[in-house]
Amino acid sequence: MSILEIHNVESGYGEVQILWGASMNPQEGKLTCLVGGNGVGKTTTLRTIMGLNRAWKGHIIFDGKDITRTPAYAKADLGIVLVPEGRQLFTDMSVYENLEMGATNNRARAKFKENLERVYVMFPRLKERAAQKSGTLSGGEQQMVAVGRGLMADPRILMIDELSLGLAPVLTLQLFQTLRELRKQGLTILLVEQNVQMALAVADYGYVFAEGRTEMEGPARELIKNEHIRAAYLGL
């Protein structure tokens, strides 16, 4: 069952069009990845779903309701959550305070203690460093805070933009293992990721973007065997 439906969405920045009819149907309880080269519209897709970019054309349906024109804060209240590229933490605030900032919508406030414990179980290091300023953490620890802050919002769908960007391989592997665990718990995840091999290895389903639209889609285990994808993105 599709929790989110993206139908022929066009969007961009100023007068520059980036999306030229993007379409996707992430399934509820599944991990869906969106991969492709630089500048093809992956981040723009997430920003448009979230309402940070305006959809010029097309429709965005969430849980059966058209939310194309719904503002970002209202989408957050519905349970649509974005972990942005570059983490975008409040670096002068503590780990705990950053996590607290994730729980601002009504749904999340009611489950604050439950979700905080969930984050600390998933990322024990954050509990150890709860009082430490987030700006003093390593890149991997900051990404843990960013994902944790997203979980504090009590998401129905968690969208993550470039999980592994700038991270050491060991930390990348740890964070992808976290995604596997969240997927097992039934959380719907939409992942944009530069590490195509890792993304397809953990995902249930994948979309390959080119020139602002879906070029290819299918079960991740089939896409990773596709000769075009192996040559274009995996160097095989």
pLDDT digits (tens, 9 = 90+) for 56-77: 999 999 999 999 999 999 999 9
From 109, 47, 121, 38, select the one nearest 80 (Cα to Cα).
Answer: 47
Domain match, 95 and 207 both: no
- pLDDT by residue (tens digit) across 125-183? 999 999 999 999 999 999 999 999 999 999 999 999 999 988 888 889 999 999 999 99
DSSP tag of 26: P
Give the model's confidence band at 236: pLDDT under 50 very low, under 70 low, under 90 confident, else very high.
very low
Domain match, 106 and 146 both: yes
Helical packing angle, 139-152 and 169-184, nearest 10°: 20
Phi, psi dihedral angles at 167 (to 5 degrees):
-100, 150
- Choosing from 127, 154, 181, the residue where a domain stops is 154
Q: Can you give the CATH number for the domain in which 66 is found?
A: 3.40.50.300
Domain match, 171 and 148 both: no
For 37, the domain range is 1-79+156-236
Give the model's confidence band at 235: pLDDT under 50 very low, under 70 low, under 90 confident, else very high.
low
pLDDT over 90, % of the chain: 80
From 39, 87, 61, 91, select the one nearest 211 (Cα to Cα).
Answer: 39
Domain match, 67 and 99 both: no
When divided into structural domains, the chain yields a total of 2
Phi, psi dihedral angles at 78 (to 5 degrees):
-75, -15
- pLDDT by residue (tens digit) across 186-200? 999 999 998 898 999
Domain match, 180 and 73 both: yes
CA 113 vs CA 64, 67, 184, 188: distances in Å: 30, 29, 21, 21
Domain match, 118 and 180 both: no
pLDDT for position 234: 67
Domain match, 72 and 184 both: yes
- pTM, entire model: 0.93
